[in-house]
Amino acid sequence: MFQRKTSKSTGPSASAEVSQKKNTAMMNLTRREKEKYIPSDEPSSANAAGDQKEKPTLETKKECAHSGHGKAAQAHQLKASPISPDSHKNCEVKLSASSSSSAKEFSVDNEEDMYRDAEEIEREKTLPVCETGSSENKLSVAPEMDIIEYCQKEWRGNTPVAKRMKKGYEAVSQKFTSIRRVRGDNYCALRATLFQALSQTSELPEWLRSEDLMLLPEKLLSKYDWIQEWQLRQKLGRKMGELSDEIKDYLILLRKKWESMSEMKSPVERQAACDELFTNEEEEYSLYEAVKFLMLKTAIELYDDDKKRKEVPVFSWLLFARDTSSNPSQLMNNHLNQIGHTGGLEQVEMFLLAYALQHTIRVYRLYKYNTDEFITLYPNDPEADWPVVTLITEDDRHYNIPVRMCEETSL
């Protein structure tokens, strides 16, 4: 993975060294992008048909076992290394009968996990609903279900890709017994990360306590005119003053919700509050706008530091090495503005998200099973005091949430 930071020196030799590091990092990113969706030991053409999940031909609904709220996930070890199904003792977690007695429908179709165009997203307004049938109780994060049962429903065939996914899920099941499926509407990376961060928080982060953070929208908008092109969800053509006030309101809401969650002593209570928050569409998407703005703020700081030849993480070179994001303005227009509309987060932007929230994002990348990138950390050399959130992905595009740590693992 990427080196975390590098400091810049002056002189011809130092410049050559920096250039070489940039080229190496870019080559590594390009290699990873080419490998994406193609398991390393199977040809991409011979098994093209097997790359798809096995699904029945009739209309499909996924049933998720309705479970009680479990303990919030603990911070995990930070060392990124491959996991073998034999490397951990099997652990058994007995759930009460009531926790799996009823089933909830979670609305999905064959394309839900893939990126969709803006028109299709606008057409699809139905979310899974609770048993009450109320349209207000929409689920962005499905109830938990056994992770092996989920795998068996998703991957029914015996193709090389299906076998790899099954082995990946089996490895994850040594640490987590259940999974919660995240709605796939191009916000899934933000949704999964924020849900995990809020559901296991124990205190309000220092960076979120600062009053200067609430002055940030006005400060940046007055300094950078191009931020006026910020695209709020379904809200275009806002004036600068209105945009500044609205983003400030989003940041205030983020702090309010985070503080409220951190004050809850019981993990069960915190989990229930998260479930309720992520059924409130207006508040939920307002939080995503706040996080996106924090990502922009972080990107601007990294870009300015790099121009001043200050120490920067290597991923920031890659972030601004792309033709579509050579500066923060392009990053905003071509990437951040598109989140939730026509695209989600690319891998290098997962680093930016981690830095913006000052959380380590630990991802089980199932298509990388049995490689040294099966478990990837964003950033790969995190700060020791950053909380850790854990996600699962099959393809670096859609992210789900593992829950209920095995008792032996949590100890």
> What are the strands, taking DSSP E only, across 254-331?
312-313
Gap between the Cα atoms of 96 and 70, Å rounded: 11
Catalytic entry in 146, 359, 398, 406 = 398
Residue 372 known to be catalytic: no
Side chain identity, residue 407: E
Residue 359 known to be catalytic: no
Give kind and range of the element (H or E) at residue 360.
strand 360-365
């987590």: which residue's tokens? 176
Catalytic entry in 64, 151, 188, 274 = 188
C-beta contacts of 68-71 below 8 A and 24+ residues apart: 68/95, 68/96, 68/98, 68/99, 68/268, 69/267, 69/268, 69/271, 69/272, 69/275, 70/144, 70/178, 70/267, 70/268, 70/271, 70/403, 70/404, 71/267, 71/268, 71/404, 71/405, 71/410
* CA-derived radius of gyration, the chain: 21
Residue 146, φ and ψ in degrees, nearest 5: -55, 135
Catalytic entry in 185, 335, 359, 406 = 185
Side chain identity, residue 2: F
Phi-psi region of 73 (alpha: psi -120 to 50; beta: other; left: phi over 0): beta
């049933």: which residue's tokens? 63
Q: Taking the C-alpha atoms of 107, 181, 121 and 296 in order, what is their torsion angle to the nearest 10 degrees?
A: 160
Residue 69 known to be catalytic: no
Helix (H, G, I), strand (E, B) or coil at 215: helix
- Tokens standing for 74? 């603990």
Give kind and range of the element (H or E) at residue 23.
helix 12-35
Catalogue the active-site residues: 185, 188, 398
